[in-house]
């Protein structure tokens, strides 16, 4: 009788150990997926920051009236090609209108 009880307890212990091992593997897989997701998220944020920084740089050049307009044109074109919009574009267009009016009045 003691042998049967010992065998049953041993079998239950083995089943429990197998269950715990399976759960541990599942937990490690989930953690690996989570880490991969975080890595991808950080890469996306890095790319967004680089794009934002570049747009800021281009906008700064567009607004810099100490640089002749024709030399600022490549910055404006790149800004537009990166889907930049907003104040820099409005500034560029208003500046163009002002120059046209100035040339017409001369």
pTM for this predicted structure: 0.69
Could you report the average pLDDT of every consecutive run of 10 residues in the chain (106 residues)?
84 91 96 96 97 95 93 94 89 90 82
Distance, CA of 17 to CA of 13 (rounded, Å) = 6
Q: How many domains does the chain have?
A: 1
pLDDT, position 59: 94
pLDDT, position 102: 86
The answer to whether residues 80 and 62 touch, using CB atoms and an 8 Å cutoff, is no
pLDDT, position 16: 92
Q: Which domain holds residue 11?
A: 2-105
- The closest of 50, 47, 104, 97 to 89, measured between CA atoms, is 97
pLDDT, position 31: 96
Instruction: Please give the angle made by the CA atoms of 28, 36 and 22, to the nearest 5 degrees.
Output: 15
């Amino acid at each position: 009788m003691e042998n049967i009880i010992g065998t049953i307890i041993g079998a239950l212990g083995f089943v429990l150990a197998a269950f715990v091992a399976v759960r541990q593997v599942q937990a490690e897989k989930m953690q690996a997926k989570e880490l991969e997701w975080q890595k991808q998220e950080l890469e996306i944020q890095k790319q967004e920051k680089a794009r934002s920084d570049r747009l800021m740089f281009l906008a700064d050049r567009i607004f810099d009236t100490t640089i002749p307009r024709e030399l600022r044109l490549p910055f404006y074109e790149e800004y537009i090609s990166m889907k930049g919009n907003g104040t820099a574009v409005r500034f560029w267009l208003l500046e163009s209108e002002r120059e046209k009016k100035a040339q017409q009045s001369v």
